[in-house]
Amino acid sequence: MEKLAINGGTPLRRIPFPSRNPYGQEEIHELTEAINSQNLFALSGNKVVGFEKRFAEKYNSQFAAACSSGTAALHLSIAALDLDPGSEIITCPVTDFGTIAGLIFQGCIPIFADWKADTYNVDPDDIERKITDKTKAIIVVQLFGNPCDMDRIVAIAKKHHLPLIEDCCQAYFTYYKDKLVGTFGDIGCFSMQQSKHLCSGEGGICITNNEKYAMRMCLFRDKGWENRGKWGPRAYSFLGLNYRMNELTGAVCLAQLKKSEFAAKKRHELGMLLNDQIKDVPGINPAPVGPHGYHSFWAYAFKVFGYDAELFSKALSAEGVPSSYGYTGKPIYLCTEALTKKKTFGTSGYPFNSQYYDKMIEYKEGLCPVAEKELTRIVTVGIHEYWSNRDVLDSAAAIRKVGAGLERQ
């Protein structure tokens, strides 16, 4: 058996993987136009508006509202629903904090539905089990670019008359059956943070076919300013923030939109190739792909059995394949003191310990046992659209080598 690099052997891969260089002449061209226009304010420019229009067209959606981040996009979507404080929103346990920050600011209570084993995605049955008379919405996360079971989730949302929000921050141009994720629910939310398929450093966008939601999202991102553009007494129709996108970001997003479909498709092909290459390796489950899903591999996450995921990942990195393990480490409800210690607004504990919520809720280990356990077995590889098939084959060979070289418990 070949000696592992982590034990002093020769690394399987000795040349670096290609770096991801998402920006080029197209972005420079759009940015130059924005600068030359002498206006970087979206509401009087054409880059952000143009991006919204084209993004909506790509997704066959009637409306789009751009904003400053994915977190802002998720906040916009909750603000659009105009819920009372104390409303419960069922969501997914493994995600970025941006999925839930906005709902807590809106006075809502996140309720976490567990993963369905071996899918890295939410279990529709657990969503349904967790619905109460206080449930007012569902937010699903299309994690890593792998679609959830949208047939079941849409049916549950319809049956219980609940608005459905899709967090697609990691899932651009990702299909479930023949339809893009982000268009199944009432609102789809996206992030343009640097690591995303469509990136501009920071940014966000929401899509919807509901005019009322679209209007509220556009107002909410602009402080609720109803009569903007008119001189004289100002009118702010409800509590809002400044979550506007600026023209520089809009310019980059416009250029990126032309590339991101390719990025998602290429990642899909590379990820599926890697899945195929490691499908027979003992102690390894390739990245799960739902039965009707088209995975766009924001990250390639496989599962190890009988190995320590941290050690496996370190051994893989030593072989020259940069790798990480555990994704967020723990479900998001264990990662933030806003939930574990209810550190929200001063010492109030609002919205949890407040007149608006008469249940005692605790965010602690055991809430979502499947997600808690499976996270500890995840190893990730940073696949991206600049990789070649050779890069995938080397990664697969390194995974096989590490699998054979490490002792299984």
Ligand X SMILES: Cc1ncc(COP(=O)(O)O)c(C=O)c1O
Name the residues that contact ligand X, by CB under 6 A.
Answer: 69-71, 95-96, 98-99, 141, 167, 169-170, 191, 193, 204
Question: Do 176 and 184 contact (CB within 8 A), yes or no?
Answer: yes
* Three-state SS at 189: strand
- Token pair 């008119």 is found at 230
Nearer to ligand X, 56 or 168 (CB): 168
* Least Å from the CB of residue 45 to ligand X: 21
- Report DSSP state, residue 361: -
* Least Å from the CB of residue 202 to ligand X: 6
* Least Å from the CB of residue 376 to ligand X: 20
Question: Do 171 and 23 contact (CB within 8 A), yes or no?
Answer: no
Nearer to ligand X, 69 or 275 (CB): 69
- Report DSSP state, residue 16: P
Nearer to ligand X, 148 or 270 (CB): 148
In the complex, which residue's CB is closest to ligand X?
Answer: 70
Nearer to ligand X, 99 or 296 (CB): 99
Strand partners, 48: none
CA-based end-to-end distance of the chain: 18
Amino acid at 123: D
* Least Å from the CB of residue 38 to ligand X: 28
Please give the sequence-ordered ranges of beta strands (E in DSSP) within 241-343, or none if there are none. 284-285, 300-304, 323-325
* Three-state SS at 206: strand
Nearer to ligand X, 121 or 323 (CB): 121
* Least Å from the CB of residue 248 to ligand X: 16
Nearer to ligand X, 218 or 299 (CB): 299
Q: Tokens for 128, please give them.
A: 């349904």
Amino acid at 365: E
* Least Å from the CB of residue 10 to ligand X: 36
* Three-state SS at 319: coil
Q: Which residues contact 270 (CB under 8 A, 6 or more apart)?
A: 297, 383, 385, 387, 389, 391, 392
Nearer to ligand X, 121 or 344 (CB): 121
For the CA atoms of 250, 255, 260, 263, what is the dihedral angle to 10 degrees? -140
* Least Å from the CB of residue 46 to ligand X: 23
